[in-house]
A and B are shown apart, each in its own frame.
Chain A
Amino acid sequence: MAGVQVANVSRSFGAHKALDDVSIDFADGGFYALLGPSGSGKTTLLRQIAGFDFPDAGRIAIGGESVERVPVEKRRIGMVFQNYALFPNMSAADNVAFGLSVRGEPKATIAAEVQRALDLVQLGKLGTRRPHQLSGGQRQRVALARAIVTKPRVLLLDEPLGALDKALRVDMQIELKRIQREIGITTIFVTHDQEEALTMSDRIGILRDGRLVQEGPPEEIYDRPQSEFAATFLGDANIFRGDATGAGIRLPDGTAIAAGAGAKLAAGAKASCAVRPERIQISTIAKGHDQVDTNMLKGQVSKRIFAGNNSTYFVDRDGQTLKVIVQNTGAERLAEGQEVVLLWSPESTVLIAA
């Protein structure tokens, strides 16, 4: 097992820059999500690490060894494809055995290893089935067993859960995480699903238009997004735009918003603030608030969406619609059209350079 270093990697297809000077350090044994919208370059990056395609510039190292010109079959990686890519002419067990068998391992070793891998993904009894006789989730497990049975240095997953339905996805997320922990393999996981990235990975890299936007542990990216894109792509965020004041921003209508987190910006620069919907308290005007160190805005509820364990309020304020998520604690629910006060602490407010 080994870490992966990607340093200043660029790749263009004609005039299109699919990857533009991307550098990421994937720690040994970590679970890493590459997150981004389609066309962001996340799959291109994964294919560079796998060796299906070579970068125009930059360096890729697996376990400290430069591999950017090494073809895929010599990189000792394991890969799970979006459509699983199981060989339809072979049984599940033969699919899993493929990597060991092309290496020329003895038959007895292969049989034992294949059984262990199938047991690990809890498919011990289905080895004789052909891929078309397996369900989506089972195919997924076979693909995973096939990818890890060769003891690769790094496991690459290209949207592996994309083709599964919601309930199965959650099961597989837990399962994938369990298996990854059990064998401790460095795992790089491409997804466009932010929830998947948040729940599964130790670190997330957000890509956009071939560039790395932000990189770090999920909590850090969620709590301290460094760009409006990172703030809105990973989770929901209310964005306020205005001029930096040194302690926050001033909105065009003169309202000051204090920000206790994020970038340090000189007064006068264009800047934004991001606030997560669940960090805002919403209450009726009648109660009255006057804390000095709390951000406060007045508005009117334009819509309420009840989702069982929580409700989302859409609050109109000076031409902007803010989102507030309130846990269902049994407290009185606010009606649409009601005048409300929104309160949140500066610590929940992230200052972002425009």
Chain B
Amino acid sequence: MADQLATGSRRGLKPALPLLLPAYLWLTVAIFLPLSAMVFFSFMTDLPLAEKEWAFTLGNYTAFFSQGLYLTLLLASLRLGLEVTLWCVVIGYPAAYVLAKVLKGRSREAIFLLIILPFWSNGLVRIFSWAMVLREGGILDTTLNAVLPFKINIDLMYSYPAVIIGLVHSYVPYMVLTCYLTLQAIDDSLIEAGRSLGASRFQVLKRVIIPLSMPGLIAGAALIFVPVVGSFMEPRILGGRTGTFYGTIIEDQFVAVFNWPLGAALSFILLAVVLIILALAAPVLRRAG
């Protein structure tokens, strides 16, 4: 059986080649080449531009370990990634459940559209509209003070919660979509079977639905955690001075300080850390699923 499959796939590769080629060409040009250049840069003292002197060095990597700031920021970014992922699960999973198992027909389509909407709006516009909502005297502040009998000051702008809010808003659709796909594939009769055996709705959720939708949760978490750890736009705009994270430091190297080699080295350290975390988490998550 395994032999058959193996020979089958080998025979299948040749005719598949013309179909695969465009994708691999594109990946080579768009990802592999620039990334290789970045690997190259990360080992240089300076950019090989404008007749500057440059040499190979490991200094960009050792800088990460010699200066505590980078490690502190990396840990802060990992924590940010964890928190945002957690909030996306808390908000996105119930929404996905309702979409997949409770709503039917047109109301499902309508809610689905509302959840997908952030994807279709420009990221920058999204973040600045949050700025309008969260700042003192902004929409949230004004509305709450108009409704509540007592005076409260809501100024979430330039704070850690503001960064969390902005990132969760941007990334929660990923969680809803991946969880929706796995939840929707769970046969309703499994839920009914669980209840007919005396399980409460919560027990069915815990013992049947969550384990069966684990692949969606894991996929969603990976899709959210990885970019959030490297994010810089939301921290910079919504976080202000408190919004210094690993991602913003990398961005600074490329945009402000113009130290591409250091920026590249910091990026690859991030990539390595994220890969290690995912590799460590994989067996645990696979068992849970």
Contact = CB atoms under 8 A, between A and B. Distances in A.
A85 interface: yes
Interface string A28-44: 00000000000000000
A82 B208 CA distance: 19
Contacts of B195: 52, 71-73
A93 B256 CA distance: 62
B187 A89 contact: no
B192 A102 contact: no
A90 B224 CA distance: 29
B198 A99 contact: yes
Nearest to B210: A89
B198 A150 contact: yes
A146 interface: yes
A74 to B, nearest CB: 8
B207 interface: yes
A77 B189 CA distance: 15
A146 B197 contact: yes
A50 interface: yes
A150 B189 contact: no
Contacts of B211: 89
Contacts of B189: 81-83, 85
A244 interface: no
Interface string B164-189: 00000000000000000000000101
- Which of A73, A82, A86, A88 is most buried by chain B, counting CB atoms within 10 A of its CB? A73
Contacts of B190: 85, 87
Contact of B207 (A82, A83, A98, A146): A98
Given A85-B187, A87-B208, A89-B212, A78 B193 contact: no
Given A98-B197, A99-B198, A150-B198, A72 B208 contact: no
Interface in B197-228: 197-200, 203, 207-208, 211-212
A198 interface: no
Contacts of A76: 198
B193 A102 contact: no
Nearest to B194: A98
Contacts of A325: none
A81 B197 contact: no
Nearest to B196: A79
- Which of A71, A102, A156 is most buried by chain B, counting CB atoms within 10 A of its CB? A102
Contacts of B199: 73, 98-99, 102
Contacts of A88: 212
Contacts of A99: 197-199
B106 to A, nearest CB: 16
Contact of B193 (A71, A74, A79, A89): A79
Contacts of A102: 194, 197-200, 203, 207
A83 B187 contact: yes
Contacts of B194: 87, 98, 102
Contact of A72 (B187, B192, B207, B212): B192
B187 A50 contact: no
Contacts of A146: 193, 197
B288 to A, nearest CB: 10
Given A89-B208, A89-B212, A102-B203, A81 B193 contact: yes
Contacts of B193: 79, 81, 85-87, 146
Interface in A78-110: 78-79, 81-83, 85-89, 98-99, 102-103
Nearest to A88: B212
A320 to B, nearest CB: 45
A87 B190 CA distance: 7
Contacts of A98: 194, 197, 199, 207
Interface in A111-146: 146
A328 to B, nearest CB: 44
Nearest to A50: B196
Nearest to A94: B207
A86 B208 CA distance: 10
Given A72-B195, A81-B193, A87-B208, 13 more contacts: A73-B198, A73-B200, A77-B196, A81-B189, A85-B190, A87-B194, A87-B212, A98-B199, A99-B198, A99-B199, A102-B203, A102-B207, A146-B197
Interface of B: 187, 189-190, 192-200, 203, 207-208, 211-212
11 contacts: A52-B196, A72-B192, A72-B195, A81-B192, A81-B193, A82-B189, A83-B189, A89-B208, A89-B211, A102-B200, A156-B196
Interface of A: 50, 52, 71-74, 76-79, 81-83, 85-89, 98-99, 102-103, 146-147, 150, 156
